[in-house]
A and B are shown apart, each in its own frame.
Chain A
Amino acid sequence: MVESRLRIAWFTDISVDRPESLSTYCSRLLIPELLKHHSIEIFSDEANLVSSGEIFGARLSHYLKAYNHHREAPFDLFLYQLEDSRACRFIRGHIGLMPGVVWVHDLFCNDLGPEACHTSPWERTIKQFIDPTLEFSDRSKAPHQLWPRAFRETSLCPVVLFSSSWARNEFKRMVSNRLEAIDGTHYADVLPVPVAEAEIKKPAHGAVLQIASVSVTGIEGRSHKLLPVLRSLKEEWHLTWLVDQAEKDSAQALLNEFGIPESRVSLISPRSIDEWSKVVSKSDIALHLHTSPFGHLAPFIQSSLAAGCPVIVERSAQGEDFPENVVFRITPGVHESAELRAIMSTFQQYMADQRREYGAAGVAYVRENFRIERIATNLSNALVGAAPHVSHVMDRWQRIGQRARRVLLEEVSGLVAPKNDTVPSAYELVITPALRDLGWM
Protein backbone atom coordinates (compact mmCIF):
# COMPACT_ATOMS: atom_id res chain seq x y z
CA MET A 1 0.00 0.00 0.00
CA VAL A 2 1.04 3.59 -0.56
CA GLU A 3 2.43 4.99 2.68
CA SER A 4 0.43 8.15 3.16
CA ARG A 5 -1.90 8.07 6.09
CA LEU A 6 -5.30 9.54 5.25
CA ARG A 7 -8.14 10.53 7.51
CA ILE A 8 -11.19 9.10 5.76
CA ALA A 9 -14.89 9.76 6.35
CA TRP A 10 -16.46 6.47 5.19
CA PHE A 11 -20.17 6.71 4.37
CA THR A 12 -21.83 3.34 4.17
CA ASP A 13 -25.04 1.53 4.85
CA ILE A 14 -24.62 -0.62 7.91
CA SER A 15 -27.33 -3.27 7.78
CA VAL A 16 -29.09 -3.93 11.04
CA ASP A 17 -31.89 -6.46 11.48
CA ARG A 18 -31.79 -7.38 7.80
CA PRO A 19 -29.56 -9.38 5.47
CA GLU A 20 -26.14 -7.85 5.04
CA SER A 21 -26.07 -5.29 2.26
CA LEU A 22 -23.29 -5.20 -0.32
CA SER A 23 -22.00 -1.98 1.25
CA THR A 24 -21.82 -3.54 4.69
CA TYR A 25 -20.17 -6.63 3.25
CA CYS A 26 -17.45 -4.57 1.54
CA SER A 27 -16.93 -2.40 4.61
CA ARG A 28 -16.68 -5.45 6.87
CA LEU A 29 -13.99 -7.01 4.71
CA LEU A 30 -11.99 -3.92 3.76
CA ILE A 31 -12.03 -1.54 6.70
CA PRO A 32 -9.98 -3.71 9.10
CA GLU A 33 -7.37 -4.01 6.36
CA LEU A 34 -7.37 -0.29 5.55
CA LEU A 35 -7.14 0.67 9.20
CA LYS A 36 -3.59 -0.62 9.19
CA HIS A 37 -2.67 2.34 7.02
CA HIS A 38 -5.38 4.97 7.39
CA SER A 39 -7.64 6.48 10.00
CA ILE A 40 -11.33 5.84 9.25
CA GLU A 41 -14.53 7.11 10.78
CA ILE A 42 -17.71 5.41 9.57
CA PHE A 43 -20.88 7.44 9.10
CA SER A 44 -24.29 5.80 9.07
CA ASP A 45 -27.90 6.74 9.70
CA GLU A 46 -28.69 3.67 11.80
CA ALA A 47 -29.46 5.43 15.06
CA ASN A 48 -29.47 2.23 17.13
CA LEU A 49 -26.10 1.17 15.88
CA VAL A 50 -24.55 4.61 16.05
CA SER A 51 -25.10 4.70 19.79
CA SER A 52 -22.68 1.79 20.12
CA GLY A 53 -19.92 4.04 18.75
CA GLU A 54 -17.71 1.51 16.96
CA ILE A 55 -17.89 -1.06 14.19
CA PHE A 56 -15.28 -3.02 12.19
CA GLY A 57 -12.66 -1.48 14.47
CA ALA A 58 -13.51 2.09 13.40
CA ARG A 59 -15.39 4.90 15.09
CA LEU A 60 -19.05 5.05 14.08
CA SER A 61 -21.08 8.27 14.02
CA HIS A 62 -24.35 9.60 12.72
CA TYR A 63 -23.91 11.07 9.26
CA LEU A 64 -25.42 14.42 10.15
CA LYS A 65 -22.50 14.96 12.54
CA ALA A 66 -19.94 14.57 9.77
CA TYR A 67 -19.52 18.28 9.11
CA ASN A 68 -18.94 18.90 12.82
CA HIS A 69 -16.30 16.21 13.02
CA HIS A 70 -14.77 17.54 9.80
CA ARG A 71 -14.58 21.01 11.33
CA GLU A 72 -12.96 19.69 14.52
CA ALA A 73 -10.41 17.53 12.71
CA PRO A 74 -10.64 17.77 8.91
CA PHE A 75 -10.97 14.62 6.87
CA ASP A 76 -8.71 14.22 3.85
CA LEU A 77 -11.60 12.84 1.89
CA PHE A 78 -15.14 11.56 2.07
CA LEU A 79 -15.77 8.11 0.61
CA TYR A 80 -19.32 7.18 -0.33
CA GLN A 81 -20.56 3.69 -1.12
CA LEU A 82 -23.49 4.09 -3.47
CA GLU A 83 -26.06 1.34 -3.66
CA ASP A 84 -29.59 1.32 -5.01
CA SER A 85 -31.51 0.85 -1.80
CA ARG A 86 -33.57 2.91 0.58
CA ALA A 87 -30.96 2.33 3.25
CA CYS A 88 -28.41 4.21 1.15
CA ARG A 89 -30.59 7.25 0.59
CA PHE A 90 -28.79 9.23 3.25
CA ILE A 91 -25.55 8.69 1.35
CA ARG A 92 -27.03 10.03 -1.86
CA GLY A 93 -28.20 13.03 0.09
CA HIS A 94 -24.85 13.69 1.68
CA ILE A 95 -22.95 13.50 -1.59
CA GLY A 96 -24.77 16.73 -2.38
CA LEU A 97 -23.45 18.29 0.82
CA MET A 98 -19.79 17.37 0.57
CA PRO A 99 -17.89 16.15 -2.50
CA GLY A 100 -15.70 13.08 -2.29
CA VAL A 101 -14.82 9.75 -3.84
CA VAL A 102 -17.81 7.58 -4.77
CA TRP A 103 -17.66 3.81 -4.97
CA VAL A 104 -20.62 2.95 -7.18
CA HIS A 105 -22.11 -0.49 -6.56
CA ASP A 106 -25.25 0.32 -8.52
CA LEU A 107 -25.07 2.75 -11.39
CA PHE A 108 -28.82 2.73 -11.93
CA CYS A 109 -31.14 3.60 -9.14
CA ASN A 110 -34.86 3.05 -8.78
CA ASP A 111 -35.59 6.60 -7.76
CA LEU A 112 -34.17 10.06 -7.43
CA GLY A 113 -33.06 9.37 -3.89
CA PRO A 114 -34.21 11.03 -0.69
CA GLU A 115 -36.61 13.94 -0.58
CA ALA A 116 -33.69 16.32 -0.24
CA CYS A 117 -32.61 15.38 -3.77
CA HIS A 118 -36.04 15.85 -5.34
CA THR A 119 -35.83 19.59 -5.02
CA SER A 120 -32.12 19.72 -5.61
CA PRO A 121 -30.92 22.62 -7.77
CA TRP A 122 -27.91 20.46 -8.60
CA GLU A 123 -27.40 21.50 -12.20
CA ARG A 124 -27.23 25.10 -11.01
CA THR A 125 -24.87 24.18 -8.18
CA ILE A 126 -22.53 22.51 -10.66
CA LYS A 127 -22.58 25.61 -12.83
CA GLN A 128 -21.75 27.69 -9.78
CA PHE A 129 -18.87 25.37 -9.05
CA ILE A 130 -17.48 26.19 -12.48
CA ASP A 131 -18.37 29.88 -12.30
CA PRO A 132 -18.54 31.07 -8.66
CA THR A 133 -20.01 34.43 -9.71
CA LEU A 134 -23.32 32.87 -10.82
CA GLU A 135 -26.38 33.59 -8.71
CA PHE A 136 -28.03 30.84 -6.66
CA SER A 137 -31.16 29.29 -8.12
CA ASP A 138 -34.52 30.98 -7.84
CA ARG A 139 -36.23 29.29 -4.89
CA SER A 140 -39.68 29.89 -6.34
CA LYS A 141 -38.95 27.73 -9.39
CA ALA A 142 -38.84 23.96 -9.21
CA PRO A 143 -35.52 22.69 -10.56
CA HIS A 144 -35.40 20.27 -13.48
CA GLN A 145 -34.50 16.71 -12.55
CA LEU A 146 -33.58 15.39 -15.96
CA TRP A 147 -30.02 14.29 -15.45
CA PRO A 148 -29.07 10.67 -16.07
CA ARG A 149 -28.85 8.42 -13.07
CA ALA A 150 -25.71 8.87 -11.05
CA PHE A 151 -24.93 12.20 -12.69
CA ARG A 152 -25.73 14.06 -9.53
CA GLU A 153 -23.95 11.50 -7.36
CA THR A 154 -20.75 11.57 -9.37
CA SER A 155 -20.54 15.05 -10.79
CA LEU A 156 -18.26 16.47 -8.12
CA CYS A 157 -16.12 13.38 -7.70
CA PRO A 158 -12.53 13.56 -8.86
CA VAL A 159 -12.46 9.77 -8.63
CA VAL A 160 -15.39 7.46 -9.23
CA LEU A 161 -14.91 3.77 -8.53
CA PHE A 162 -17.17 1.05 -9.84
CA SER A 163 -17.54 -2.45 -8.50
CA SER A 164 -18.40 -3.60 -12.01
CA SER A 165 -16.53 -2.85 -15.23
CA TRP A 166 -19.83 -3.01 -17.09
CA ALA A 167 -21.17 -0.19 -14.91
CA ARG A 168 -17.97 1.82 -15.45
CA ASN A 169 -18.37 1.51 -19.22
CA GLU A 170 -22.01 2.52 -19.05
CA PHE A 171 -21.07 5.47 -16.90
CA LYS A 172 -18.45 6.60 -19.38
CA ARG A 173 -20.88 6.22 -22.23
CA MET A 174 -23.79 8.03 -20.62
CA VAL A 175 -22.59 10.34 -17.91
CA SER A 176 -18.94 11.10 -17.99
CA ASN A 177 -19.05 13.44 -20.97
CA ARG A 178 -21.38 15.69 -19.02
CA LEU A 179 -19.02 16.10 -16.11
CA GLU A 180 -17.45 19.45 -16.68
CA ALA A 181 -16.94 20.57 -13.13
CA ILE A 182 -13.72 18.82 -12.27
CA ASP A 183 -11.45 20.46 -14.85
CA GLY A 184 -10.51 17.27 -16.61
CA THR A 185 -9.22 15.52 -13.50
CA HIS A 186 -12.24 13.24 -13.45
CA TYR A 187 -11.20 9.63 -13.24
CA ALA A 188 -13.23 6.42 -13.29
CA ASP A 189 -11.83 3.04 -12.36
CA VAL A 190 -13.01 -0.42 -11.42
CA LEU A 191 -12.72 -1.66 -7.86
CA PRO A 192 -14.31 -5.10 -7.68
CA VAL A 193 -16.05 -6.46 -4.63
CA PRO A 194 -13.62 -8.49 -2.51
CA VAL A 195 -14.18 -12.04 -1.44
CA ALA A 196 -12.69 -14.14 1.32
CA GLU A 197 -10.98 -17.37 0.31
CA ALA A 198 -13.38 -20.30 0.54
CA GLU A 199 -12.75 -23.87 1.47
CA ILE A 200 -13.25 -25.96 -1.64
CA LYS A 201 -15.36 -29.00 -0.91
CA LYS A 202 -16.58 -31.88 -3.03
CA PRO A 203 -20.33 -31.98 -3.63
CA ALA A 204 -22.12 -34.27 -1.21
CA HIS A 205 -24.30 -36.12 -3.69
CA GLY A 206 -22.43 -37.12 -6.79
CA ALA A 207 -25.37 -38.85 -8.46
CA VAL A 208 -27.71 -35.88 -8.24
CA LEU A 209 -26.86 -32.64 -9.99
CA GLN A 210 -26.84 -30.05 -7.22
CA ILE A 211 -27.91 -26.68 -8.64
CA ALA A 212 -27.64 -23.47 -6.66
CA SER A 213 -29.44 -20.33 -7.74
CA VAL A 214 -29.59 -16.85 -6.27
CA SER A 215 -32.04 -14.54 -7.95
CA VAL A 216 -35.04 -12.32 -7.61
CA THR A 217 -38.44 -13.61 -8.67
CA GLY A 218 -39.09 -10.85 -11.20
CA ILE A 219 -38.64 -11.44 -14.92
CA GLU A 220 -35.00 -10.29 -14.69
CA GLY A 221 -34.28 -13.30 -12.45
CA ARG A 222 -35.10 -15.60 -15.43
CA SER A 223 -37.06 -18.21 -13.44
CA HIS A 224 -39.46 -18.49 -16.35
CA LYS A 225 -36.54 -19.75 -18.43
CA LEU A 226 -34.82 -21.85 -15.80
CA LEU A 227 -37.74 -23.79 -14.35
CA PRO A 228 -39.03 -25.30 -17.64
CA VAL A 229 -35.47 -26.34 -18.47
CA LEU A 230 -35.09 -28.09 -15.13
CA ARG A 231 -38.41 -29.88 -15.58
CA SER A 232 -37.24 -31.22 -18.91
CA LEU A 233 -33.92 -32.61 -17.65
CA LYS A 234 -33.80 -36.40 -17.79
CA GLU A 235 -31.38 -37.10 -14.94
CA GLU A 236 -31.67 -36.43 -11.22
CA TRP A 237 -31.22 -32.87 -10.01
CA HIS A 238 -31.94 -30.74 -6.97
CA LEU A 239 -32.31 -26.96 -6.91
CA THR A 240 -31.40 -24.82 -3.91
CA TRP A 241 -32.83 -21.38 -4.49
CA LEU A 242 -31.76 -18.47 -2.30
CA VAL A 243 -34.43 -15.75 -2.22
CA ASP A 244 -35.30 -12.75 -0.11
CA GLN A 245 -37.69 -13.59 2.69
CA ALA A 246 -40.21 -11.19 1.16
CA GLU A 247 -40.08 -13.09 -2.14
CA LYS A 248 -40.46 -16.58 -0.77
CA ASP A 249 -44.18 -16.76 -1.55
CA SER A 250 -43.74 -15.57 -5.11
CA ALA A 251 -40.88 -18.05 -5.58
CA GLN A 252 -43.16 -20.87 -4.42
CA ALA A 253 -45.86 -19.62 -6.79
CA LEU A 254 -43.41 -19.83 -9.69
CA LEU A 255 -42.43 -23.37 -8.72
CA ASN A 256 -46.09 -24.34 -8.65
CA GLU A 257 -46.78 -22.62 -11.94
CA PHE A 258 -44.04 -24.58 -13.70
CA GLY A 259 -44.92 -27.87 -12.00
CA ILE A 260 -41.69 -28.33 -10.05
CA PRO A 261 -42.20 -30.87 -7.25
CA GLU A 262 -41.41 -29.65 -3.72
CA SER A 263 -39.05 -32.57 -3.18
CA ARG A 264 -36.67 -31.22 -5.81
CA VAL A 265 -36.34 -27.70 -4.47
CA SER A 266 -35.11 -26.08 -1.29
CA LEU A 267 -36.15 -22.46 -0.91
CA ILE A 268 -33.75 -20.69 1.42
CA SER A 269 -33.83 -17.26 3.05
CA PRO A 270 -32.40 -14.79 3.86
CA ARG A 271 -30.55 -13.97 0.68
CA SER A 272 -27.28 -13.41 2.51
CA ILE A 273 -23.70 -14.13 1.61
CA ASP A 274 -23.33 -16.45 4.61
CA GLU A 275 -26.24 -18.61 3.45
CA TRP A 276 -24.97 -18.58 -0.11
CA SER A 277 -21.50 -19.70 0.93
CA LYS A 278 -23.04 -22.72 2.64
CA VAL A 279 -25.23 -23.53 -0.36
CA VAL A 280 -22.58 -23.13 -3.00
CA SER A 281 -20.00 -25.19 -1.13
CA LYS A 282 -22.05 -28.32 -1.79
CA SER A 283 -23.34 -27.51 -5.26
CA ASP A 284 -22.21 -28.65 -8.69
CA ILE A 285 -23.22 -25.49 -10.50
CA ALA A 286 -24.19 -21.98 -9.50
CA LEU A 287 -26.72 -19.93 -11.47
CA HIS A 288 -26.41 -16.15 -11.45
CA LEU A 289 -29.12 -15.37 -13.95
CA HIS A 290 -29.89 -11.66 -14.01
CA THR A 291 -30.69 -9.48 -17.00
CA SER A 292 -31.34 -6.05 -15.59
CA PRO A 293 -29.06 -3.04 -15.27
CA PHE A 294 -30.64 -2.62 -11.83
CA GLY A 295 -29.22 -4.79 -9.09
CA HIS A 296 -25.90 -6.60 -8.93
CA LEU A 297 -24.43 -10.08 -8.88
CA ALA A 298 -21.84 -9.31 -6.20
CA PRO A 299 -20.81 -10.65 -3.83
CA PHE A 300 -22.59 -13.94 -4.60
CA ILE A 301 -20.88 -14.64 -7.88
CA GLN A 302 -17.42 -14.06 -6.41
CA SER A 303 -18.32 -16.43 -3.61
CA SER A 304 -19.36 -19.14 -6.12
CA LEU A 305 -16.13 -18.77 -8.03
CA ALA A 306 -14.06 -18.80 -4.84
CA ALA A 307 -15.74 -22.06 -3.81
CA GLY A 308 -14.73 -23.63 -7.11
CA CYS A 309 -18.29 -23.96 -8.30
CA PRO A 310 -18.87 -23.59 -12.04
CA VAL A 311 -21.00 -20.56 -12.81
CA ILE A 312 -23.63 -19.70 -15.41
CA VAL A 313 -24.38 -16.04 -16.10
CA GLU A 314 -26.38 -14.06 -18.61
CA ARG A 315 -24.76 -12.12 -21.41
CA SER A 316 -26.21 -8.98 -19.90
CA ALA A 317 -25.29 -6.16 -17.53
CA GLN A 318 -22.83 -7.33 -14.87
CA GLY A 319 -22.75 -10.81 -16.33
CA GLU A 320 -20.45 -9.28 -18.95
CA ASP A 321 -17.78 -8.58 -16.34
CA PHE A 322 -16.34 -12.07 -16.12
CA PRO A 323 -13.96 -13.60 -18.66
CA GLU A 324 -15.10 -16.44 -20.90
CA ASN A 325 -12.83 -19.01 -19.31
CA VAL A 326 -14.34 -18.71 -15.82
CA VAL A 327 -18.08 -18.62 -16.53
CA PHE A 328 -20.59 -20.25 -18.86
CA ARG A 329 -22.53 -17.46 -20.53
CA ILE A 330 -25.97 -17.66 -22.04
CA THR A 331 -27.74 -15.06 -24.13
CA PRO A 332 -31.11 -13.68 -23.03
CA GLY A 333 -33.83 -14.24 -25.59
CA VAL A 334 -35.08 -16.95 -27.90
CA HIS A 335 -32.10 -19.29 -27.51
CA GLU A 336 -31.67 -18.77 -23.79
CA SER A 337 -33.50 -21.94 -22.72
CA ALA A 338 -31.71 -24.07 -25.28
CA GLU A 339 -28.31 -22.80 -24.17
CA LEU A 340 -29.17 -23.35 -20.55
CA ARG A 341 -30.42 -26.88 -21.28
CA ALA A 342 -27.26 -27.70 -23.23
CA ILE A 343 -24.99 -26.63 -20.37
CA MET A 344 -27.06 -28.47 -17.76
CA SER A 345 -27.17 -31.65 -19.82
CA THR A 346 -23.44 -31.54 -20.34
CA PHE A 347 -22.93 -31.20 -16.62
CA GLN A 348 -25.23 -34.10 -15.92
CA GLN A 349 -23.00 -36.36 -17.95
CA TYR A 350 -19.98 -35.83 -15.75
CA MET A 351 -19.25 -37.21 -12.32
CA ALA A 352 -19.04 -34.69 -9.51
CA ASP A 353 -15.24 -34.68 -9.32
CA GLN A 354 -14.97 -33.78 -12.98
CA ARG A 355 -17.53 -31.05 -12.65
CA ARG A 356 -15.25 -29.45 -10.11
CA GLU A 357 -12.48 -29.15 -12.64
CA TYR A 358 -14.59 -26.55 -14.40
CA GLY A 359 -14.44 -24.47 -11.27
CA ALA A 360 -10.66 -24.41 -11.05
CA ALA A 361 -10.32 -21.49 -13.45
CA GLY A 362 -12.77 -19.53 -11.36
CA VAL A 363 -10.81 -20.17 -8.17
CA ALA A 364 -7.60 -18.96 -9.81
CA TYR A 365 -9.38 -15.90 -11.20
CA VAL A 366 -10.80 -14.98 -7.82
CA ARG A 367 -7.46 -15.47 -6.07
CA GLU A 368 -5.83 -13.13 -8.53
CA ASN A 369 -8.49 -10.44 -8.68
CA PHE A 370 -10.73 -10.38 -5.63
CA ARG A 371 -8.49 -11.07 -2.64
CA ILE A 372 -9.31 -8.78 0.25
CA GLU A 373 -5.72 -7.58 0.63
CA ARG A 374 -5.48 -6.78 -3.05
CA ILE A 375 -8.77 -4.86 -3.20
CA ALA A 376 -7.82 -2.99 -0.03
CA THR A 377 -4.48 -2.04 -1.55
CA ASN A 378 -6.11 -0.88 -4.76
CA LEU A 379 -8.64 1.15 -2.86
CA SER A 380 -5.95 2.66 -0.68
CA ASN A 381 -3.89 3.61 -3.72
CA ALA A 382 -6.93 5.13 -5.41
CA LEU A 383 -7.75 7.19 -2.33
CA VAL A 384 -4.19 8.40 -1.84
CA GLY A 385 -4.06 9.35 -5.50
CA ALA A 386 -7.43 11.10 -5.27
CA ALA A 387 -6.66 13.06 -2.11
CA PRO A 388 -5.02 16.12 -3.74
CA HIS A 389 -7.84 16.43 -6.28
CA VAL A 390 -10.47 15.99 -3.58
CA SER A 391 -8.75 18.64 -1.51
CA HIS A 392 -8.94 21.06 -4.42
CA VAL A 393 -12.63 20.31 -4.96
CA MET A 394 -13.37 20.64 -1.25
CA ASP A 395 -11.70 24.05 -1.10
CA ARG A 396 -13.85 25.31 -3.93
CA TRP A 397 -16.88 23.68 -2.38
CA GLN A 398 -16.21 25.43 0.92
CA ARG A 399 -16.23 28.77 -0.87
CA ILE A 400 -19.69 27.97 -2.29
CA GLY A 401 -20.81 27.13 1.24
CA GLN A 402 -19.54 30.44 2.61
CA ARG A 403 -21.26 32.34 -0.15
CA ALA A 404 -24.47 30.36 0.43
CA ARG A 405 -24.41 31.48 4.06
CA ARG A 406 -24.11 35.12 3.06
CA VAL A 407 -26.93 34.78 0.55
CA LEU A 408 -29.11 33.01 3.12
CA LEU A 409 -28.67 35.90 5.54
CA GLU A 410 -29.57 38.34 2.78
CA GLU A 411 -32.75 36.32 2.20
CA VAL A 412 -33.47 36.42 5.93
CA SER A 413 -32.95 40.17 5.96
CA GLY A 414 -35.37 40.52 3.05
CA LEU A 415 -38.04 38.64 5.02
CA VAL A 416 -37.79 40.91 8.04
CA ALA A 417 -38.03 44.31 6.41
CA PRO A 418 -37.66 45.87 3.01
CA LYS A 419 -34.50 47.86 2.44
CA ASN A 420 -34.57 51.42 3.55
CA ASP A 421 -31.48 53.55 3.13
CA THR A 422 -32.32 56.21 5.68
CA VAL A 423 -33.76 54.46 8.74
CA PRO A 424 -32.18 51.41 10.42
CA SER A 425 -34.43 48.41 9.79
CA ALA A 426 -35.80 45.99 12.37
CA TYR A 427 -33.32 43.55 10.99
CA GLU A 428 -30.38 45.81 11.80
CA LEU A 429 -31.72 46.81 15.20
CA VAL A 430 -33.04 43.49 16.52
CA ILE A 431 -31.96 40.56 14.42
CA THR A 432 -28.38 41.45 13.53
CA PRO A 433 -27.13 41.65 17.15
CA ALA A 434 -28.79 38.30 17.88
CA LEU A 435 -27.20 36.71 14.82
CA ARG A 436 -23.81 38.02 15.93
CA ASP A 437 -24.37 36.66 19.40
CA LEU A 438 -25.15 33.25 17.92
CA GLY A 439 -22.03 33.36 15.79
CA TRP A 440 -24.06 33.30 12.59
CA MET A 441 -22.60 36.53 11.25
Chain B
Amino acid sequence: MALYAALLYYAEDGGWMGREHLAEHSGFLADPAAAEVVRGWQALCPAGTATTITVGGGLGGDVMITDGPYAEAKEVLGGFYLLEAADLDEAIRFVARIPTAWRGKVEVRPVLPANPARSRP
Protein backbone atom coordinates (compact mmCIF):
# COMPACT_ATOMS: atom_id res chain seq x y z
CA MET B 1 0.00 0.00 0.00
CA ALA B 2 1.08 3.59 -0.59
CA LEU B 3 -0.09 6.98 0.68
CA TYR B 4 -1.38 9.61 -1.74
CA ALA B 5 -2.44 13.17 -1.22
CA ALA B 6 -5.44 14.20 -3.27
CA LEU B 7 -5.27 17.98 -3.65
CA LEU B 8 -8.55 19.60 -4.49
CA TYR B 9 -8.56 22.57 -6.86
CA TYR B 10 -11.48 24.85 -7.61
CA ALA B 11 -12.10 27.48 -10.27
CA GLU B 12 -13.59 29.91 -7.78
CA ASP B 13 -12.21 31.02 -4.39
CA GLY B 14 -14.51 29.67 -1.69
CA GLY B 15 -16.58 27.87 -4.32
CA TRP B 16 -16.26 24.72 -2.23
CA MET B 17 -18.07 26.27 0.70
CA GLY B 18 -21.54 26.02 -0.83
CA ARG B 19 -23.94 23.95 1.28
CA GLU B 20 -24.78 21.72 -1.66
CA HIS B 21 -21.18 20.97 -2.50
CA LEU B 22 -20.26 20.30 1.15
CA ALA B 23 -23.18 17.86 1.26
CA GLU B 24 -21.70 16.13 -1.80
CA HIS B 25 -18.47 15.62 0.14
CA SER B 26 -20.40 14.31 3.14
CA GLY B 27 -22.08 11.84 0.82
CA PHE B 28 -18.75 10.85 -0.66
CA LEU B 29 -17.25 10.28 2.81
CA ALA B 30 -20.30 8.31 3.98
CA ASP B 31 -19.68 5.74 1.25
CA PRO B 32 -18.07 2.64 2.88
CA ALA B 33 -15.64 2.51 -0.03
CA ALA B 34 -14.30 5.93 1.04
CA ALA B 35 -13.83 4.74 4.65
CA GLU B 36 -11.43 2.09 3.35
CA VAL B 37 -9.28 4.64 1.52
CA VAL B 38 -9.56 8.10 3.12
CA ARG B 39 -7.10 8.58 6.02
CA GLY B 40 -7.99 12.17 6.81
CA TRP B 41 -9.36 15.36 5.32
CA GLN B 42 -9.86 19.04 5.97
CA ALA B 43 -11.53 21.81 4.04
CA LEU B 44 -9.64 25.11 3.96
CA CYS B 45 -10.87 28.67 4.42
CA PRO B 46 -10.99 30.72 1.19
CA ALA B 47 -7.67 31.77 -0.37
CA GLY B 48 -8.40 35.33 0.78
CA THR B 49 -7.40 34.24 4.29
CA ALA B 50 -4.03 32.88 3.14
CA THR B 51 -0.62 34.23 4.13
CA THR B 52 2.60 33.33 2.34
CA ILE B 53 5.88 33.10 4.22
CA THR B 54 9.41 32.93 2.96
CA VAL B 55 12.68 33.07 4.87
CA GLY B 56 15.74 34.70 3.32
CA GLY B 57 18.97 32.69 3.33
CA GLY B 58 18.23 29.88 5.73
CA LEU B 59 17.03 29.07 9.22
CA GLY B 60 16.86 32.27 11.26
CA GLY B 61 16.91 34.53 8.18
CA ASP B 62 14.54 37.45 7.57
CA VAL B 63 10.93 36.32 7.60
CA MET B 64 8.91 37.82 4.72
CA ILE B 65 5.18 37.77 5.28
CA THR B 66 2.78 38.56 2.43
CA ASP B 67 -0.96 38.56 2.11
CA GLY B 68 -2.57 36.01 -0.18
CA PRO B 69 -2.02 32.48 -1.48
CA TYR B 70 1.08 31.32 -3.27
CA ALA B 71 0.10 31.29 -6.91
CA GLU B 72 3.16 30.87 -9.08
CA ALA B 73 2.70 28.71 -12.14
CA LYS B 74 6.32 27.52 -12.14
CA GLU B 75 6.43 26.12 -8.60
CA VAL B 76 4.71 22.93 -7.60
CA LEU B 77 3.05 21.76 -4.44
CA GLY B 78 5.39 19.39 -2.64
CA GLY B 79 3.53 18.43 0.48
CA PHE B 80 1.85 19.82 3.54
CA TYR B 81 2.03 19.92 7.33
CA LEU B 82 -1.11 20.20 9.41
CA LEU B 83 -0.25 22.58 12.27
CA GLU B 84 -2.01 23.52 15.45
CA ALA B 85 -1.13 26.98 16.79
CA ALA B 86 -2.75 29.57 19.04
CA ASP B 87 -2.78 32.28 16.39
CA LEU B 88 -1.30 33.34 13.05
CA ASP B 89 1.87 34.80 14.62
CA GLU B 90 2.60 31.52 16.38
CA ALA B 91 1.93 29.61 13.14
CA ILE B 92 4.26 31.93 11.22
CA ARG B 93 7.03 31.50 13.82
CA PHE B 94 6.81 27.75 13.35
CA VAL B 95 6.48 27.90 9.56
CA ALA B 96 9.67 30.01 9.40
CA ARG B 97 11.51 26.88 10.65
CA ILE B 98 10.17 24.58 7.93
CA PRO B 99 13.04 24.07 5.44
CA THR B 100 10.72 24.81 2.52
CA ALA B 101 10.50 28.42 3.78
CA TRP B 102 14.00 29.13 2.45
CA ARG B 103 13.98 26.67 -0.45
CA GLY B 104 10.59 27.81 -1.71
CA LYS B 105 7.55 29.32 -0.07
CA VAL B 106 5.03 28.16 2.46
CA GLU B 107 1.40 29.20 2.28
CA VAL B 108 -0.52 29.16 5.55
CA ARG B 109 -4.27 28.81 5.32
CA PRO B 110 -6.67 28.29 8.22
CA VAL B 111 -8.62 25.04 8.14
CA LEU B 112 -12.36 25.57 7.79
CA PRO B 113 -13.87 25.20 11.29
CA ALA B 114 -16.17 22.18 11.70
CA ASN B 115 -18.96 24.51 12.81
CA PRO B 116 -18.57 27.92 11.14
CA ALA B 117 -21.29 29.42 13.39
CA ARG B 118 -18.93 29.08 16.33
CA SER B 119 -16.09 30.83 14.64
CA ARG B 120 -16.66 34.43 15.63
CA PRO B 121 -13.13 35.60 16.43
Tell whether A and B belong to one assembly.
no
Taking Cβ atoms with an 8 Å cutoff, the residues of A that contact B are none
Taking Cβ atoms with an 8 Å cutoff, the residues of B that contact A are none
